[in-house]
Structure 1
Amino acid sequence: MKGSKAAFAGFGLALAAFSFAPVAIAATDISHPTQALQFLDNTTDFGATFGNNQRNNFFADKFTFSISDRPYVILESYLSSISSRATNGLEITDFTIRNNAGVVAQGVQESRGDIDLWSLYNVTLQPGDYWLQVNGFVVSNTGGSFGANVNLTPVPEAETWAMMLGGLSVLGALARRRKQA
């Protein structure tokens, strides 16, 4: 009887230890397929949605585009993920613009929590192929989404600046001539 009590107590302790042991949940990559961005009048938007029951799963979504018709452009983009509180929705961990050589510009996190807000501001791009990459994970089983807007501003070529300065010089000379007459 004494031996069976000890065995039963040992079994009970083992069961208690097992029931309180942390359970490791393997995270799954739930990234969307790469999407090509289509610009209309130098602007576009993009985003992604993640369904319920994806808690702790991670993503690295890519949005591709090319600069080919002008020597330089300036890119600006704002990305946000909004939820009812910080314990719901998504946690955005990184927002970058990349090319085949690596990271071109790192986004700046403006806010975190129930509103994740990231910005890429005043990024000068030369002709080439690029992608915006959004990394993060799902915080809760309620799912979530993110959305962003991208604006491209063409940088005037040197010839354009020269013509503009020449035109201003002519206007200045005409104004001075009228004042003297």
Structure 2
Amino acid sequence: MFKECSMFQIRTATVAVLGLLSALSATPAFADPANHLVADYGSIVLPFTHSIGNTFSGSQANGFTSQDGTPVVFATIGGKSYFYDDFLFSLPTSPQANFDAAAVTIDMGSFLSLQNFSARLYKLDAGVASLTTGLPSSGTPIQAWTSTTLLAPGVTGTTVLFQNVDLQAGARYALEFRGTIAGGFGGSYGGNLNIAPVPEPSTGAIALAALCVVGLIGRRRISVSAE
């Protein structure tokens, strides 16, 4: 009787473990712990404009929190500790779209300061689970890490800028910022993003383009005949 109970318990435990492993394998991987989802705008309607940004408060000794109260988890790259902030959006199935964005951080010395500030844009192929601090699973980013530029003469600060970036209709994207918190009590950045539809050429424009091509071919034929 004891042996039968023991065998039954072993079989039950084995089934439970296998079931747990199966469930874990079916669960999508989480994003990198350093990725902080600041905002998910979902399926947007074009044109779309929205403010973006984050404020970090706290101290170097006790750690920092984002403006939503989430503790900042850093990713160490090249000996520096970076925060990663993400803003997500999904495009409608048509039309194509153009993307513009700008963000600024102002340096207030040792009190409030962000350094090594940059941003990139990449496509998400598995939703939030595909957020990453490394190479996106969807491949090369649509826009690689931007370089920072001086905000203005006499002003200590940096800005990152995206201009006329083509986006694929129906795709989901992550606008990702990163930087180091150099201020003793934190720092902040802010800006705007704008996504505009790319107008499809009208029938008249298509017809005019066709006429131009026909006219060009005709002139070439006349030129060849004259020779």
TM > 0.5 fold call: yes
The match for 1:120 is 162
Q: Secondary structure at the match of 1:145?
A: strand
Q: Secondary structure at the match of 1:140?
A: coil
Deviation at 1:92, TM superposition (A): 4.0
Deviation at 1:69, TM superposition (A): 4.1
The match for 1:151 is 194
The match for 1:141 is 184
**How high is the TM-score relative to the length of structure 2?**
0.52
Maintained 8 Å contact 1:64/1:132 = yes
The alpha-carbon distance between structure 1 residues 70 and 121, as it changes in their structure 2 partners (threshold 3 A), is same
Q: Given the alignment, which residue of 148, 163, 181 partners 2:204?
A: 163
Maintained 8 Å contact 2:111/2:185 = no
Deviation at 1:115, TM superposition (A): 1.0
**How high is the TM-score relative to the length of structure 1?**
0.63
Maintained 8 Å contact 2:110/2:183 = no
Higher-Rg structure is 1
- Separation (CA, whole Å) in 2 of partners of 1:30 and 1:144: 17
Maintained 8 Å contact 2:111/2:184 = no
Maintained 8 Å contact 2:88/2:172 = yes
Runs of 5+ consecutive residues of structure 2 not aligned to the other structure: 1-32, 62-79, 124-137, 209-227
1:105 correspondence with 2:147:
no
Deviation at 1:154, TM superposition (A): 1.1
Deviation at 1:164, TM superposition (A): 4.8
Deviation at 1:45, TM superposition (A): 1.2
Q: Secondary structure at the match of 1:51?
A: strand
Q: Secondary structure at the match of 2:142?
A: strand
Percent of residue pairs identical: 23
The alpha-carbon distance between structure 1 residues 138 and 31, as it changes in their structure 2 partners (threshold 3 A), is farther
Q: Given the alignment, which residue of 65, 74, 79 partners 2:103?
A: 79
The alpha-carbon distance between structure 1 residues 108 and 88, as it changes in their structure 2 partners (threshold 3 A), is same
Deviation at 1:157, TM superposition (A): 1.1
Q: How many residues align?
A: 137
Deviations 1:117-167 (A, max 9, x none): 010111000120001000111002121111120111211113x2x335769
Kindly report which structure 2 residues correspond to 1:1-181, keeping only aligned pairs within 5 A, or say none.
32-37=36-41, 41-54=47-60, 57-85=81-109, 88-99=112-123, 100-106=138-144, 107-111=146-150, 114-127=156-169, 128-158=171-201, 160=202, 162-164=203-205
- Separation (CA, whole Å) in 1 of partners of 2:54 and 2:36: 8
